[in-house]
Structure 1
Amino acid sequence: MPESVSPRQRRALRLGWQFVRPYRRQVLLALLALVVTAAITLSMGQGIRLLVDQGFMTRSAHQLNQTIGLFLLLVVALAVGTFSRFYLVSWIGERCVADIRRAVFDHLIGLHPGFFEDNRSSEIQSRLTADTTLLQSVIGSSLSMFLRNALMVIGGVVLLFITNPKLTSIVVVALPLVLAPILLFGRRVRSLSRQSQDRVADVGSYVAETLGQIKTVQAYNHQAHDRELFAGTVEAAFAVARQRIAQRAWLITLVIVLVLGAVGVMLWVGGMDVIAGRISAGELAAFVFYSLIVGSAFGTLSEVIGELQRAAGAAERIAELLAARSAILPPAVAQVLPQRASGRIELQQLVFAYPSRPSVAAVDGLSLTIEPGQTVALVGPSGAGKSTLFDLLLRFYDPQQGRILLDGRAITELDPDHLRQQFALVAQNPSLFRGTVEANIRYGRPEATLAEVEAAARGAHADAFIRQLPQGYQTPLGEGGIGLSGGQRQRLAIARALLVDAPILLLDEATSALDAQSEHLIQQALPSLMAGRTTLVIAHRLATVQHADRIVVIDKGRLVAVGTHRQLIEESPLYARLAALQFTTG
């Protein structure tokens, strides 16, 4: 079997051991309880032999009382051992899965954003919840059952040999017949279990995607089509599950027929020996007991192996997440900027294509120098590469060619965390999180005081509307800031950026989707936000562009022109066209 263990399965086994290892003491205690309960169960066979031969056959009340007393003592010991085993094994399962979930989340949150372009977040969520729940069930129950029944089989076969070697040979001959289908079906079940988990993840992914965009779904009356597509996804999951269940059902059926068939043959042979006087009735009763123990343990093993195969598939999927490596790593020896950078940025011959579109350059040979304290507006048609520059500055990606310098140091030589402390980002669609208004503003500086939070909100012209909310700064926000207008969300994002007080500000079309009143309020907030900072603005609005120190026109990832608004209207046909289309109506 060792050669059939794939590298993925070895990685899954290592993953399991990695999380179980810290709790070796509890594991040893659980194993001790497991061995004790198995031994007590097996010793009951000898109790039955004594009961029959010395209790029933001798017709002695004293002997019967003794054997019954011993039997009841074993029952109490078995109950105590079972309680200990169940509690410890369940505790280990819950503890390990809690550790796995934390480890996976801690690992994922440090991966570069490109990883989440290639892997659906809803599928990752399924792995973090459904797969870990399956692992909890296996570590906290099925694994214990497997070990216990494996001990019962081994101990039972040993005691069968001690009790009657002749009859045991019948059971031993049947063993290969039972093992063969377990190994044959087990491999198939393992493959189907992995497929089944993938299909379940597809179901979760579809639900998350559709319900997350429910307004769009209903606005376009897409419900019927979505029901049909979801039904197909569910049926695909069911089809794989049905195959897996059928394989396991065949496995269990074969085991029962073979094991109990062997027991039937053994009973016939043993019965003939009792009639002939070669063995006692008590020996046969004990032998039947051990045979049934071995048979039922084998039946349970065949069921549990199916669960273990499912868990192996789940562990493989979780191990894949933990094995994912970030493309953005800190250097071995990171250079250190002053606590607050001056804000001088140099872009030198940048060439970059997204991993998902390697043949299309999002930035193509772009060079630009931005002096400390300057406000530079980036202008160009959609897809020109403006937002990509922000991604590169924040080192969410590294360029394939060229480099970016901050205060004369290449950003690849800086620790990414330290680099990002120098930037404050206000996105076009600001990200707000479930929690209070205060917590959302404090997002970039968790240690800030309430007075500092309120000062930042006043600077962003957000204080007035916050105080009108039901609980003011303690008002809980829904996911994504649901319930707030676009302008309100944007002003909270500006307050967050003000509170961070970073030397470089990145404004990604901060007012492009707002109504005139909201835009007016935000335009009032921007001067205090931009004061004393190097500011890069992705701009579609004339009001923002006109006040910039320089305007940079970008098209197809290339720098087309640089100058003031007036200069570019005269010198750059592309800028003049954009101005005519976008700005004159602003």
Structure 2
Amino acid sequence: MLLGYVRPHRWTLLAGALLSLVTGATGLLLPLVARGLIEDLSDDRPITGALLLLSVLVLANAALGALGSYVLRRTAESVVLGARRALSSYLLRLRISAVDRSEPGDLMARVTSDTTLLREVTTDSLVGFGTGGLTLLATVVLMGVVDPVLLGVTLAVIVVAGTVLGVIVPRINRASRQAQDAVGVMGASLERVLGSLRTVKAAGAEEREERALHAAAEESWRQSVRAAKWSAAAGNTAGLAMQSAFITVLAVGGARVATGAISVATLVAFLLYVFYLMSPIQQVVGAVVQYQSGAAALSRIQETLLLPAEPAPTGTGTGTPVGADAVPARKAAVDPVDPVDPVDAVDAVEQLDPVAPEGPASLSFTEVRFRYADDLPYVHHGVTFEVPPRGMTAFVGPSGAGKTTVFSLVERFYEPESGTVSVDGLPVPDWELDRLRATIGYVEQDAPVLSGTLRDNLLLGRPDADEETVRHVLETTRLDGLVGRLPLGLETLVGHRGTKLSGGERQRVAIARALLRRPRLLLLDEATSQLDAVNEAALRDTVAEVARTTTVLVVAHRLSTVTSADRIVVMDAGRVRAVGTHRELVAGDPLYAELAATQFLATAP
């Protein structure tokens, strides 16, 4: 998996690795030059050339080392950037069902905290292991050339240290994984509190939530300290091994100098190599340690990339179904499920185009069964209904009847367990997803507003809308007065989740955002629940006007908003029990009559 992130930067990574190798090579030459310098001094020969060469090597080592370090660090940051872009793009395509089973704070930690560890894995682990290993091998070869006996002594000490490291390294991996998981839990806890901070404050639950946050932070601290403990043990083991090797070589080498087996210059050169051996060994050990930490992060990233996701968008967004020409769309536009004015039907057909179809869309559910999870009860039990193009269709019924779920299935946020959901006569799975959603305007029940400016929110679904279109929609939804009062007009920041707007204003923003998309199918889920009577009446008139040229679906608990609908679908316990007009249902369906009587609407308007 790591190689997948590194592959686009392989050439710059290779350049940095080569620079590191050249830096190591210049360092390896220093002991040999130093030995020659000592021998020149002993034999009373000129040392100018040796000093000059030594100076050049030192400067070259420093310059190449700095350049190589920069190239590697820059490449590592590029790897992190690529991972974050890929992961964030994937998170945006996650299926809603996958998000329902995940903690948003933990997912955010994977994009931020986990990807940061890739920086160290790329430089310290991947490159460090390669360059450090090659430098270590070259150093050992040169040490063997200088004196094989002292090399044997050095390797014996290193083998003992390697055995100890083999025991420590797996513990680093486990501790690092638990530390990263703890960071994710802490992020989830923090996101939970900040997302409902008003509720927490109103309930006086700050201290309880504070304790929960502190507990999550302390668990992260404990696991991180545990990982640091084993990492420190690994680093100190390598350092201790090199110190032991130096002392052993000094003792054995001193004895060999005393017996005349080697010269003092040879011993000095070998000791310098022992010093140089520390760097590649620590580099290799550090690479192994960093990889264990990075492997935990990579594992968490891989888990995220295995979550079910929607197909990547094609970028067309024209509203044309996959493999469909104009014929099925035209048939849907004039399908006589419900009487439509002949002139309007002809107009609808003429507006359709095989490349970018216009005009209202039709919708049908056929024996749809659905539940949100295998361990949850069914929400829909064979739901069947048809909505012809154009006009307003309302969905009413008790809470939990499955009304909002209808919209979620139309948007393909979820897939039905059985049955068929069709738009324009074509099953929803046969549409390209971005084209399907380009056909739909959706106003959610809680009318979310994103952090940013009012303009950003309005143009979220149609960034290319011109000023005249925006102005018209603002007037239609009665937002023009709000814009006039705001200090910066459309450029005013609305706050986190629109906290600077009232509930009714947020609903009108959500409706305006949906209308700007010029949808062929408009879904309104309790879109007027937070509006006052004046604005509700105005918006009801607006929706009725839109329904003349668009298919409008409305979920409503207040029947006053839908009594004039062309058809009303009454749902109860996941089933469609009746379809008709307000008059017909008051007279023919007991549940609807009861709902109408409760809201003083028992008689027809």
Q: Which of 29, 47, 50 is equivalent to 2:15? A: 29
Q: Which runs of 5+ in 2 are unaligned?
A: 315-320, 330-353
RMSD of aligned Cα (Å): 2.3
Residue pairs, 1:287-366, within 5 angstroms = 287-326=270-309, 334-336=323-325, 337=329, 338=354, 339-340=357-358, 342-355=360-373, 357-366=374-383
Q: Which residue of 1 aligns with 2:450?
A: 433
Q: Secondary structure in 1 aligned to 2:500?
A: coil
Give the distance between the partners of 1:166 and 1:426, measured in 2 at CA.
Answer: 80
Q: 2:192 aligned with 1:203, yes or no?
A: no
CA shift in 2, pair 1:160/1:330, >3 Å: closer
Residue pairs, 1:242-321, within 5 angstroms = 242-321=225-304
Q: Which of 574, 588, 604 is equivalent to 1:571? A: 588
Give the distance between the partners of 1:471 and 1:187, measured in 2 at CA.
Answer: 58
Deviation (angstroms), 1:566: 3.0
- Paired AA for residue 434 in structure 1: S
Offset from partner CA, 1:295-339 (integer Å, 9 cap, x none): 343234333422221111112222222333426789996435541
Give the distance between the partners of 2:222 and 2:414, measured in 1 at CA.
Answer: 40
Q: Which of 82, 95, 102 is equivalent to 1:119? A: 102
Q: Which residue of 2 aligns with 1:106?
A: 89
Q: Secondary structure in 2 aligned to 1:210?
A: helix
**How many residues are treated as equivalent by the alignment?**
567
Q: Which of 379, 400, 403 is equivalent to 1:383? A: 400
Offset from partner CA, 1:52-104 (integer Å, 9 cap, x none): 2223x2355x32x3222111100111122112201210111111211111111
Q: Which residue of 2 aligns with 1:166?
A: 149
Give the distance between the partners of 2:471 and 2:65, measured in 1 at CA.
Answer: 58
Deviation (angstroms), 1:572: 2.6
Give the distance between the partners of 1:563 and 1:520, measured in 2 at CA.
Answer: 23
> How high is the sequence identity, in percent, across the aligned residues?
32
Offset from partner CA, 1:402-426 (integer Å, 9 cap, x none): 1022222212211121112221112
Q: Which of 510, 521, 524 is equivalent to 1:504? A: 521
Residue pairs, 1:22-171, within 5 angstroms = 22-55=8-41, 57-60=42-45, 62-63=46-47, 65-141=48-124, 143-171=126-154
Give the distance between the partners of 2:123 and 2:511, measured in 1 at CA.
Answer: 48
Q: Which residue of 1 aligns with 2:163?
A: 180
Q: Which of 238, 257, 260 is equivalent to 2:221? A: 238
Please tell me whether the aligned partners of residues 435 and 477 of structure 1 are also in contact (alpha carbons under 8 angstroms): yes
Please tell me whether the aligned partners of residues 33 and 82 of structure 1 are also in contact (alpha carbons under 8 angstroms): yes
Q: Secondary structure in 2 aligned to 1:403?
A: strand
Q: Secondary structure in 1 aligned to 2:400?
A: coil
Give the distance between the partners of 1:461 and 1:556, measured in 2 at CA.
Answer: 36
- Paired AA for residue 28 in structure 1: L
Q: Which residue of 1 aligns with 2:467?
A: 450
- Paired AA for residue 353 in structure 1: R
Deviation (angstroms), 1:388: 0.5
Give the distance between the partners of 2:534 and 2:25, measured in 1 at CA.
Answer: 79
Please tell me whether the aligned partners of residues 110 and 326 of structure 1 are also in contact (alpha carbons under 8 angstroms): yes
Deviation (angstroms), 1:362: 0.8
Deviation (angstroms), 1:274: 1.0
Offset from partner CA, 1:211-246 (integer Å, 9 cap, x none): 221111111111111111112111211222222122
Give the distance between the partners of 1:168 and 1:243, measured in 2 at CA.
Answer: 36
Please tell me whether the aligned partners of residues 274 and 280 of structure 1 are also in contact (alpha carbons under 8 angstroms): yes
Give the distance between the partners of 1:542 and 1:512, measured in 2 at CA.
Answer: 11
Q: 2:533 aligned with 1:516, yes or no?
A: yes
Please tell me whether the aligned partners of residues 344 and 407 of structure 1 are also in contact (alpha carbons under 8 angstroms): yes
Give the distance between the partners of 1:178 and 1:319, measured in 2 at CA.
Answer: 33
CA shift in 2, pair 1:330/1:466, >3 Å: closer
Deviation (angstroms), 1:485: 0.9
Please tell me whether the aligned partners of residues 124 and 283 of structure 2 are also in contact (alpha carbons under 8 angstroms): no
Q: Which residue of 2 aligns with 1:4?
A: none
Give the distance between the partners of 1:217 and 1:142, measured in 2 at CA.
Answer: 44
- Paired AA for residue 122 in structure 1: G
Deviation (angstroms), 1:282: 1.0
Give the distance between the partners of 1:341 and 1:528, measured in 2 at CA.
Answer: 14
Give the distance between the partners of 2:573 and 2:529, measured in 1 at CA.
Answer: 21
Deviation (angstroms), 1:554: 0.9
Q: Which residue of 2 aligns with 1:227?
A: 210
Give the distance between the partners of 2:376 and 2:208, measured in 1 at CA.
Answer: 34
Q: Which of 134, 150, 173 is equivalent to 1:190? A: 173
Q: Secondary structure in 2 aligned to 1:513?
A: coil
- Paired AA for residue 58 in structure 1: D
Please tell me whether the aligned partners of residues 112 and 326 of structure 1 are also in contact (alpha carbons under 8 angstroms): yes
- Paired AA for residue 176 in structure 1: V
Deviation (angstroms), 1:438: 2.1
Q: Which runs of 5+ in 1 are unaligned?
A: 1-14
Deviation (angstroms), 1:255: 2.7
Offset from partner CA, 1:532-553 (integer Å, 9 cap, x none): 2111110111321211122211
- Paired AA for residue 523 in structure 2: L
Q: Which residue of 1 aligns with 2:347?
A: none
CA shift in 2, pair 1:239/1:218, >3 Å: same
CA shift in 2, pair 1:537/1:223, >3 Å: same
Give the distance between the partners of 1:543 and 1:524, measured in 2 at CA.
Answer: 12
CA shift in 2, pair 1:438/1:329, >3 Å: closer
Deviation (angstroms), 1:524: 4.2
Give the distance between the partners of 1:456 and 1:107, measured in 2 at CA.
Answer: 33
TM-score by length of 2: 0.89
Give the distance between the partners of 1:112 and 1:410, measured in 2 at CA.
Answer: 19
Deviation (angstroms), 1:51: 2.5
Q: 2:560 aligned with 1:543, yes or no?
A: yes
Give the distance between the partners of 1:242 and 1:22, measured in 2 at CA.
Answer: 34
Q: Secondary structure in 1 aligned to 2:140?
A: helix
